[in-house]
Amino acid sequence: MQLALTILVDGLSYASWLFIVALGLTLVFGVLKILNIAHGSFYALGAYMAASAVALVNNLNVSPYFSLLAMLLAAVALAALVAPVTERGLLRFFYGRDEVLLVLVTYAMFLMLEDITKLIWGANPYYVSEPYALFGNLDFGNQSYVGYDLLLVVLAVVVGSAMWWGLNRTRFGKIVTAVIHSPEVAASMGVKVSRVYMVAFSMGLFLAALGGAFTAPMISVQPGVSVGVIIISFAVVIIGGLGSIEGAAIGALIVGLARAFAVHLMPVAELFSVYVVMALVLMFRPQGLFQRIQARKI
Amino acid sequence: MAKLLFTALVVLLGCLGVGLVLPKWLQFMLTMAMANGLVSLGLVILMRGGVVAFGQGLMAALGGYTAALVFEHFQWTEALALPLLGGLSAMLITAPFAPLLARYRGIFFSMLTLALSMVGYGLLVKTDALGGSDGINMGRVHLLGHVLPDEWVSYSLLAVTMCFVALSLVWAKVYFASTRGLVTRAIRDNELRVEYMGGSVAQTMAINFVVAAFLAGMGGALAVMALGHIDPNFSYWTTSGEFVFVAILAGSQSVMAVMLSSVLLEVVRSFSSAYFPTTWQLALGLFLLLVIRFLPQGLGALWRSKPQEEAP
């Protein structure tokens, strides 16, 4: 029972930041039809920005709760700075090309961002664990859980709901849905498709950076964090079905719990538990759990 | 056919001759480039059918591990046999997955191969009998039963690799023009039509996959013979990404282009890691972007101007 609860809490907190990151990935895929390998680099950039921002707040002698705000602002700043440059300056030249070719374009971006990150922040790890202790520990029975983990769960729920509301209940959301279905028809109705692309890409980048920023206190921020995140968030969106919010949520839960199970019960399998789940899901539901079957061209 | 064999022989002899006068570091670099090129050649075969595998690194690793294990445990040291053995083992191990993978297309094929290769990577890292994350070493191979003297090692390995590459390229050229090779092209354009015309899409894709595994295993074994060491990083997805990179750079129009691209990548990588050690990935990424932007059909399109027609 103890163990089950631990696995559940562990899995949930892991699933929550993963959901935030995967949501960005699935949004960008849904709108721009790009499976973005550089998404993991944006996550890493978010973590680095947050590390610097928290260090700055720590030097200012203000309430430590400001570091949470600083982390959020770091993600916003990153999205505002980097998204327009990459989308307008680079990606738009490749729209309409083969999906797999676009994966390769983002692979090139990933390679470049890896080095750019190292150039800016160096190769040494950063530790900013102060925010992690902000919410103390919560006791259940004789087991205690870190409050920050539960904050992440709340954050994931808030972000997910906001996203769902934004896409399903606002005018702009309807426009985005129209663009997803058919960019040409949307354009002929007077929608500025390129602007929708840019907003969607910025939003996706922001979510990656947000995930990175709020996990920064839990990890050592160093070169290489991006690589693991890319593959694992790929697994999440593939399991859930590309381009679906519910899918990303379920996928993140499955992956988070599978990993927590493996960590606590079968540590040997930690490395590949996630891929096994992904392979299994793909074998039985080739389009993911929440994807509608697409018509084939004749 | 005769003309093809003659051309191949002339080119091979020319390359072997040129190889003699090259410095040792360049011989080694070319050996690695060609061995990796074989892995990418397998990818090109798959890409002609419209799918891109992101797990070829694991296939190469399977071949490499087989060669190293057979060398260490059974003392099979023959340089001409080990690559074939590596190819066969990669082929046999991955064959059960071929019918399954043949059902997938596009991004899902790529992601599934990626997932399976990462499962393999995890297993390799965790298996102590295979050296875990340190990998295993491999001694110096023999050629036709003879011990290779120090000054001839790198040239011999280059020559062996060139012979395997030449054979594979000739075979690939024949295969591309064969019925199955043409059906593969048709599948990329429109697989439903292929089914209507009586071709088996799943069978063709599965066979292509197995063939690609063989080529990758062979390439992996050749690379390990030259390196003398193999570790699980061979099967990591970033390595697989480099093989895809070479295949895209080459395009699917010319088999020679695959080898040229592989050499080009190795040159860019060596020079940028020598001259900009901290920013070589930046250089590589930029190079890749430029290629995709300005050479959409790959290097092969530079001397093959036959336009590729897309089905509506």
SS3 A221: strand
- Residues of chain A contacting B, Cβ within 8 Å: 35, 90, 93-94, 97, 99-101, 103-105, 107-112, 114-116, 118-119, 227, 231, 234-235, 238, 242, 268-269, 271-272, 275-276, 278-279, 282-283, 286-287, 296-298
Mean pLDDT of the region B32-46: 90
Cα separation values, B109 from A106, A241, B9, B156, B266, Å: 18, 14, 37, 38, 27
Give the angle A68-A74-A80 at the CA atoms, nearest 5°. Answer: 140
Segment B123-150, tens digit of pLDDT: 888 887 777 777 788 877 777 777 777 7
pLDDT score of B306 more than 60: no
Interface test with B, best of A101, A275, A293 (most B CBs within 10 A): A275
Question: For chains A and B, what is the number of CB pairs under 8 angstroms?
Answer: 110
Whether residue B217 contacts residue B59, with contact meaning beta carbons closer than 8 Å, is answered with yes
**DSSP code of residue B134:** G
Which residue bears the tokens 């599965």? B206
pLDDT at B305: 56
pLDDT score of B206 more than 60: yes
pLDDT at B24: 78
Buried b vs exposed e over B167-176: b needs ≥16 C-beta within 10 Å? ebbbebbebb
pLDDT score of B200 more than 90: no
- Give the whole-angstrom CA distance, residue A278 versus residue B116: 9
- Give the whole-angstrom CA distance, residue A65 versus residue A67: 5
Tell me the ipTM for this assembly. 0.82
A111/B119 Cβ within 8 A: no
- Give the whole-angstrom CA distance, residue B91 versus residue B98: 10
pLDDT at A298: 47
Which amino acid is located at A173 in the chain? G
Residue of A nearest to B248 (CA): A101
pLDDT at A297: 47
Buried b vs exposed e over B196-231: b needs ≥16 C-beta within 10 Å? eeebebbebbbbbbbbbbbbbbbbbbbbbbbbeebb
Those residues whose C-beta lies under 8 Å from the C-beta of residue B139, and which sit 6 or more positions away, are B71, B72, B77, B228
The two beta strands, B142-143 and B146-147, are antiparallel
The distance from CA A271 to its chain's CA centroid, rounded to whole angstroms, is: 20
The domain A2-284 is classified under which CATH number: 3.40.50, 1.20.1250, 1.10.3470, 3.40.1000?
1.10.3470
Domain ranges of chain B: 27-234
Q: Which residues of chain A have pLDDT under 70?
A: 141-142, 271, 291-298
- Give the whole-angstrom CA distance, residue A49 versus residue A51: 5
Contacts 24+ apart (CB under 8 A), A61-64: A64/A130, A64/A131, A64/A134
Whether residue A210 contacts residue A20, with contact meaning beta carbons closer than 8 Å, is answered with yes
The distance from CA A267 to its chain's CA centroid, rounded to whole angstroms, is: 25
pLDDT at B311: 43
Which amino acid is located at B305 in the chain? S
- Give the whole-angstrom CA distance, residue A214 versus residue A229: 14
* This prediction's pTM: 0.85
Number of neighbours of residue A188 by Cβ within 10 angstroms: 9
- Give the whole-angstrom CA distance, residue A163 versus residue B228: 52
Residue of A nearest to B117 (CA): A275
Whether residue A12 contacts residue A153, with contact meaning beta carbons closer than 8 Å, is answered with yes
pLDDT at B213: 92
How many alpha carbons fall within 13 Å on the CB side of residue A270? Answer: 8
